[in-house]
Amino acid sequence: MCTAVALGWAGLALGAASAGAQAVGQRQQAKQQAAYQAQAARAERLRFQQEQTSMRMRQAQEQEAVGRELEQVSRKSQAALARARVSAGEAGVAGASVQALMDDYMRQEAGYRAATLRQQELGGIATGMGLEQAGFATQQRQIGINQPIDRPSFLSGALGVASGALGGYRTGLTLKSMMPPKTDTA
């Protein structure tokens, strides 16, 4: 019986050591996983900020280009109107026909300006939708990164020690039953 008890105590000690080592390993693994997740989350936030900045820069460049284009159209239209007035004056033409020509030039410019501004407006809407989509995508990536981390608990460690002790004690009893009985030689 002494051997079985000794084996039981040895099993208890080994079970406790094993459970302790496992708990330490799980704790270290949980810390490493948390550090990895924090780093990956920071990298994803930075990636998203850069994507937003890029989209906003492109939008600003497009708006600047439209502004320059509308300014050029306005200058060309004013020059065309001035040439038409001078030509009409030199030709001795005046009245409603000259005014109709001027109105036509202005109508064409207004139509072009309206179409260009509408296109710019649609581009702004597309950028807004792109930013929203990028926000949803980064949110999904963050969810994928920040998965729950399995952390060791005292209860699971204690149960591991108890299980190891009972297993060791059972092994001790099994070994004792396999040993030949002691014979007294007196």
Query: Going by C-beta distance under 8 Å and a sequence separation of 6 or more, which residues neighbour residue 62?
Result: 120, 123
User: Do residues 73 and 112 make contact, with C-beta atoms less than 8 angstroms apart?
Assistant: yes
pLDDT attached to residue 85: 84
pLDDT attached to residue 8: 64
Alpha-carbon distance values, 153 to 12, 18, 20, 34 (Å): 19, 15, 11, 16
Q: Take residue 13 and report the two structure tokens written for it.
A: 């000690």
| CB-count exposure of residue 11 (10 Å: 0-12, 13-18, 19+) | buried
pLDDT by residue, tens only, the chain of 186 residues = 556 667 667 766 776 677 777 778 888 998 999 999 999 999 999 999 999 999 999 999 999 999 999 999 999 999 988 888 888 888 888 888 888 888 998 999 999 999 999 999 999 999 999 999 999 999 999 999 988 888 777 777 777 767 766 776 777 777 777 777 776 665
3-class DSSP assignment, residue 179:
coil
pLDDT attached to residue 148: 87
pLDDT attached to residue 185: 61
pLDDT attached to residue 3: 61
Q: Supply the angle between the helices 154-178 and 2-91 in degrees, to the nearest 10.
A: 150
Q: Take residue 75 and report the two structure tokens written for it.
A: 């200058």
- Find, among 51, 37, 54, 58, the residue nearest to 146 by Cα: 37
Q: Give the side-chain half-sphere CA count within 13 A for 118.
A: 6
The DSSP symbol for 5 reads H
